[in-house]
Each structure stands twice: as C-alpha cells, then as structure tokens.
Amino acid sequence: MSTHTDSPRCFIVPPYLLTHLAQLEDPRLAHAASAAQRALAAASQIRAVRRGEPAPPRQSMRGTDAVRRQASAPGRPERYISDAEGTEELPGRLVRSEGEPPTPDESVNEAYDGLGETYSLFWEAFSRNSIDGEGIPLAATVHFCEAYDNAFWDGTQMVFGDGDGQVFVGFTSSLSVIGHELTHGVTQYTANLVYSGQSGALNESVSDVFGALVEQHSRGQSADEASWLIGEGIFSAEVEGQALRSMKAPGTAYDDDVLGKDPQPADMSGYIETEDDYGGVHLNSGIPNRAFYLAATAIGGNAWDAPGQIWYETLTTEVKANADFREFAEATVVAASRLFGDDSREASAVRTAWQTVGVTA
C-alpha cells in the first residue's frame, strides 16, 4: 500500500490552460493573466516535492493534529476545513470540524459538504471507509493564495483557490472537482497509477470517473440523466463553455475566444503525443473517460452501481501502477467478467466501449 509521500500534486486545471491565460495581452484580461501566472508559479513550487520525498513541514492545526490521526468510525467521515486566508501556507487556520454547524463562509461549507458527499459515495457504493479504506480523516483548505486559479490534492489534503473572477470562480462550487481531487487520494492508496503518459492519463480519468459519480450519487441521477461534465460551474459567465471536460463528448466542454477550444481527443485516432503535462495526462484522459461513459450508458441505471463497481474493482485489485490504456481496458473486462459473468451484459458493454474508443480491437 502506498503512503502519501508517493503522490505527485494533482491539479484540476490543466497547465496548458493556465499557460494560455498567462500569455494573454488583452488589457481587459490583465487580472486573469496575472492570476494564471501566479497559479503556474505556485504549481512549480508545490511540485518541487517529487516522488518519494517527504512533504514540507506543515503548520499545526491548533491542537487538532492528535485528533486528525484518529481513524473515523466506519460510515462516518471525519472532516477538517481550514482557511489559508489568501496565503500559500498550509493547512491554514482551522475553521470547521466534523459535526460543527455551517459557517458564514460559503466556500468552507461547500468544501465540508463536498468531502462528505465523496465519503458517502465510496462508503455506500463500495464499502470503502474514507480514501485509504481505513477511516483516514478528510482535510481541505480554502482561500489558498490570491485569486488562485486551481484546486489540487497535495498527497495529504484538498486545497481550493477562489479563482480570478474573470475566467474562473470558486472551485468549491463544483462537486465533481471535489470528488475528482479526493479520488487522487484513493488511487494513491490503491493502484498508485504512475503520473506520466498513459498511466497518468488513467490516473486523471479515474478521478474524473469517480468525481462524476460523486455528483451523480449526490443528485440521485441515472447515467442517462447525468451531464457527465467535470468542473461544471467553475467558469465565469463570460466564458463560452460548460466545464473543464466532458466525459460524454471529449473536446466539446468549451470553445471560447479567450480559452480556445477544448483539446481533448475522444478516441485513439486523436491521441496526443507530448512531453508537456507529464505526457498529456489531462489531454488523453478523454479517451478512457468516454469509454466509461459508453459502458455506463449501455448498462443503464445508476453509474455507481455495475459500472462503478467494475472500475473500483479494477483500481483496487486488477491494475498495475504502470498500466497503459490497453492493459487497463483488459483489466476492466476481467473485473466485469468476475463480478457479473463473462457473457453478461455488463462485460459486453465494457468490451464494446473500449473497442469504440479504439483502445482494443
């Protein structure tokens, strides 16, 4: 089993999007460009801790460290929300703990609720007690940095920025973002998919899959009713776009004069070879994302049931850390066959989904 020091810092907004914003020369968007530059600089500093190295010293949680080390009881989350107050100091000032009433700060309450909804999905659908399976408390920090255009999992906790207000708004408003980032923690404690190339794209895709399931589970939506959007609500009203990514139709999430067009490929014919962004982990994740969407809608019903069980079984028992798309696809078929039978509708839907996106023949 992996420890938190084995995980890279995983960001919801891809670096290619921030780089594009940072290079804007339109005076009207100077604030957004400056915010993107700060986000990239902060990301470089955060990423300075590499695989296998200890995380930097962390501030005290004002006497709560001893509490945070205690595992939560099965079925009951243990949440801690802190406020960085516009600084880059983590975890910041503790402002809400498990069981305490809502605060006047909506970001605090959204983070608290989002952590709870994510815990609920993994417990109710997969009997998983928190992200490590052993009841580890869930921690998050809001109001990180100044007008920070991102949210991330740092190997130990969630961190949320407030956005620049021109392009991005508060990241706690999207349940799929919270579920996505916390799932990086689940992956870290299970398959620990290497964050590079195809295994890195699978790492991102798994987070999108369960981020979408957190949102659907919370809303009681079937696979057919769901939007399959990741990051819906984090764009300002000025942006021509629905979300950061679409699992249903990769490459269609946004098409904006400022942001450009969503570059995600929908199948292997559009696979992008690049050395940027750890080998295109946020780009090529659209391919396995669409495979899950196709399987889930073909099976029907709630996507956290059979499709979610297959992907969860794959992540926790079948797949290796350096798996490529084909190996992951084959592992999902094995998991589907074991859970539902080799000739089942579920196994057939999974096989067809991977064939449709061009991963298997």
Catalytic residues, by residue number, are: 181, 282
Residues 244/173, Cβ–Cβ less than 8 Å? no
| Among candidate residues 207, 307, 295, 284, the one with its CA nearest the CA of residue 248 | 295
Long-range CB contacts (< 8 A, 24+ apart) of 332-338?
332/295, 335/310, 335/311, 336/310, 338/313
Distance CA 207, CA 195 (A): 12
Task: Return contacts of 24-30, CB within 8 angstroms, 24+ apart.
Answer: 24/258, 26/258, 29/166, 29/167, 29/258
Q: Which of 117, 151, 124, 134 is nearest to 190 (CA)?
A: 134
Both tokens of 143, joined, read 């109001």
CB-based contacts of 41, cutoff 8 Å, min separation 6: none
Alpha-carbon gap, residue 338 to 99, rounded angstroms: 40
Identify the three-state secondary structure at position 118: helix
Distance CA(227)–CA(241), nearest Å, equals: 13
C-alpha dihedral sign at 143, 144, 150, 151:
negative
